[in-house]
Amino acid sequence: MGKTSFAVLAFCLFGMIATCVVAQDFNIPNIDMEQLKNIKLPEGADLEGLPGHQGHDHDSEEGEAPPAPRVPRARAAPSGVNYVPPKPSGSVVFFEPFDDSWTSRWTVIQSDRYNGMWNVEEARHFSGIPGDKGLVVTEAARHYAVIAPFDKPLDPTGKDLVIQYEVRLQDGLDCGGAYLKLPSSSTSFKPKDFNNDTPYVIMFGPDKCGSTNKVHFIFRHQNPLTKQWEEKHLRNPPAVPLDKLTHLYTLHVKPDNSFEIFIDQESSVKGNLLEDFTPSVNPPKTIDDPTDKKPSDWVDQAEIVDTTATKPDDWDEDQPAAIPDPDAVKPDDWLDEEPEQIPDPNAVKPDDWSDDEDGNWEAPTIENPKCAGASGCGRWTRPSMPNPLYKGKWTQPLIPNPAYKGPWSPRQIPNPNYFEDKHPANFHPIAGVGIEIWTMTDGIMFDNILITTEKAVADAYADDTFAVKRPEEKKLQKEDDAAAAGDDSLLGRAQALVNQALEALQNPVVAGTVGVAVLIPLVVCFLLPGKKAAASLPPAGTAPAQPAAATETTRDAPAVDAPKATASPKQSKKKQ
C-alpha cells in the first residue's frame, strides 16, 4: 500500500471516530425492536394514528409510500442488571417504577401535536442504581403526552393527598416542562383523548423557560354559583434545581387546606390553599359600586400654596451653593511649577507624517511622573465647601388644605357573586396521572411516580428508591468530575474520544452509516492505480526506457536529483 493509500485509510479511520461522536451528539435514533413490540395504541386506533400515517391520503399520492414512524433510541447501553424495583406498602392509590410492564398501565398519545417519542431506559450518565429505568423524553422541540388511569377514581374529600415522583434532567433544561397532571374524573373522560385541553385537578412539577423557573402547584377550583372552573396558582413557588442528577418532588395537601412542597425530602414551601394562591379561592364579600361616581366638588388635594406668605428680608437668593474653604491650607509638597500633563518624551514622529498635510506634529501627553509622589501639581486652589448662607430661590410654602376631604373611592356594596368555600382541599375526584409537556431539551427522565393518601407511605418509598440512588449519583459524578479535571492530557482526551465513539457504535444506525462511509473510500483506494504504476508508463511521444539503463540511473543518481527525471508541463514548455 502506497503512502497515498495509507493516508486515505488513516483519514477514513479518523472520519469513523468523528462520525461516531457527531452521531452521538445529534441523537440518531436507535431502533429498539422490543420497544416497538410494547407500544400500546389507543383503544380502537390503528396505524393511522402513528407518526407518518397521520391522515395520509394514499389516493392523492399514488405509488408513494408514507414515511416510516420514528422510534425512540436508547442513549445508554443496558447494564445487564435485572433490577427489581421495590413496591410501596400502605394506602397506595397508584405507583409506577417504569419496569418492563409499564405499557400495560400507560397509554402513549400519538397525534399531529404529540409527536414526541418516549422510551423506558436506564440513565445516560452514572446511574445510581444499575438496571433501574425511567420514562425518558428522547427528542427535543416536541410535544409529549402519556397517561395512566387509576383502577377507580380517587376522591380526596377529607383525606391527605400526596403526589411524589422523581425527575432527572439528564441534559439540563433549556426550555420545557417536567410536571404531572392529574385529570378530572368524569363520564366523558377517555385516556386515549388526553391532551392539553383535558380538565385536570392538580398540576405539579418543574417548569423552566426564559425567566420562568418554578415548581408549579396549580389546582382547579369550581365556582359553586357560576359552575365555572378557574386555575389557582401558587403565588411564590420554589425554583427548579437545574443540575443533571435525580431530584424528588413531593406535594402534600392536608384536609385542613394546608400544603407543603418537598424537594429531595426537604421542605421547600408551605402554606394554605385559602391564603397563598392567586386568584384567591373565595371572592371578596363586598365590591365597588359600579354606579357610584366621584362628586364634582370633591377636593382630594391635601395641601395648597400659602398665598399670604412673603419672603423674609434676610433671604439672600444670590448666595452660591458652594464657596472656597477658608480654612484650607496648601500642602507643603505641592508642586506649583510642574504641569499635570507633559509631552511623552518617548514618542516619535511617524515616518508617514506630513507637516503640510497633517499639520505640525506634537507628541502626545502623559501624566507628569513628578506629580505621582506629590499632593498635586500646577496652580493650587482652595477646595469648595457647602455655603452656610445658601438658601436658594424662595417660594411660598405649602399649608394643609382646609377643604380637603381625603382620597375618594366608590362605596362598597355586597358582592352578588360572593361565596365561601372553607374546604378547597376537597378536590374533585381524580381519574389518573398524566404527563403532557412541551420541551426544547431531550433526556428528561421520570421515575417512581406515587399517589397516596399517607405521607409516611411516600417517605418510606423515597427511602427505598431516591435515598438509595441519589448518594450514589453524587459520588459517581464527583469521581467523573475529578477524572475529567485530572486527565486533560492528549492521551486522556484521545481515550475519551475513542470511548465516545465505541459507545455510539452500539447504535445500529450509526454503525451502518460508519461502515458505508469507511467502505467506499477503501474500495476507491485499492481500485485506483498507485504511484509506481503511473510512474512506469512512458510519457506520450517518447520511446520506452531500457530496463538496464533505468536500473543504473536509479541506483547511481543522487537522491536530490530524482525530481528532475520528470519535467513539469511548464518546464517542458520552457525547453521547447
- Checking if the pLDDT of 540 tops 50, the result is no
Higher pLDDT, 59 or 152: 152
- Checking if the pLDDT of 434 tops 80, the result is yes
Buried b (16+ CB within 10 A) or exposed e, 357-393: eeeeeeeeeeebeebeeeeebeeeeeeeeeeeeeeee
Cβ pair 204, 503 in contact under 8 A: no
Show Cβ contacts of residue 176 under 8 Å, excluding neighbours closer than 6 positions. 207, 208, 209, 437, 438, 439, 440, 441, 444
- Checking if the pLDDT of 152 tops 90, the result is yes
Among 272-276, 400-404, 447-451, 570-574, the least confident range: 570-574
- AA identity, residue 5: S
- Checking if the pLDDT of 45 tops 90, the result is no
Buried b (16+ CB within 10 A) or exposed e, 538-563: eeeeeeeeeeeeeeeeeeeeeeeeee
pLDDT at 334: 94
Mean pLDDT of 129-154: 97
- State the pLDDT confidence band at 441, using cuts at 50, 70 and 90: very high
At 543-559, the pLDDT tens digits run 444 444 333 333 343 34
At 188-224, the pLDDT tens digits run 999 999 999 999 999 999 999 999 999 999 999 999 9
SS3 of 93-160: EEEECCCCCHHHCCEECCCCCCCCCEEEEECCCCCCCCCCEEEEECCCCEEEEEEEEEEEEECCCCCC
- State the pLDDT confidence band at 538, using cuts at 50, 70 and 90: very low
pLDDT at 82: 86
Q: For the chain, what percent of residues have pLDDT higher than 90?
A: 67
- State the pLDDT confidence band at 39, using cuts at 50, 70 and 90: very low
- Checking if the pLDDT of 73 tops 80, the result is no
pLDDT at 563: 40
pLDDT at 126: 85
Most confidently modeled range among 41-45, 134-138, 336-340, 360-364:
134-138
- Checking if the pLDDT of 53 tops 50, the result is no
- State the pLDDT confidence band at 7, using cuts at 50, 70 and 90: low
pLDDT at 542: 46
Chain mean pLDDT for the chain: 81
Q: What is the DSSP letter of 76?
A: S
Backbone angles phi, psi at 366, to 5 degrees: -135, 165
pLDDT at 468: 96
- Checking if the pLDDT of 421 tops 80, the result is yes
Nearest residue to 223 via CA among 161, 182, 279, 185: 279
CA distance 210 to 189: 34
Domain 31-55+67-284+425-483's class?
mainly beta
- Checking if the pLDDT of 402 tops 80, the result is yes
pLDDT at 125: 86
Among 94-103, 277-286, 474-483, 547-556, the least confident range: 547-556
At 477-531, the pLDDT tens digits run 888 888 877 655 555 566 656 556 655 555 555 566 667 666 776 666 566 555 4
pLDDT at 81: 80
- AA identity, residue 544: P
CA angle 440, 118, 443 (to 5 degrees): 45
The size of the chain, in residues, is 576
What are 251's three cell numbers? 406535594
> What residues does 177 pair with on adjacent strands?
207
- State the pLDDT confidence band at 534, using cuts at 50, 70 and 90: very low
Nearest residue to 233 via CA among 272, 278, 264: 278
Q: For the chain, what percent of residues have pLDDT higher than 70?
A: 71
Among 145-159, 224-238, 428-442, 557-571, the least confident range: 557-571
Cβ pair 301, 407 in contact under 8 A: no
pLDDT at 459: 98
- Checking if the pLDDT of 30 tops 50, the result is no
pLDDT at 111: 95
pLDDT at 67: 40
Rounded to two decimals, the pTM is 0.61
Most confidently modeled range among 19-23, 62-66, 546-550, 559-563:
19-23
What are 198's three cell numbers? 383535558
CA distance 309 to 275: 52
- Checking if the pLDDT of 162 tops 50, the result is yes
- State the pLDDT confidence band at 426, using cuts at 50, 70 and 90: very high
- Checking if the pLDDT of 444 tops 90, the result is yes
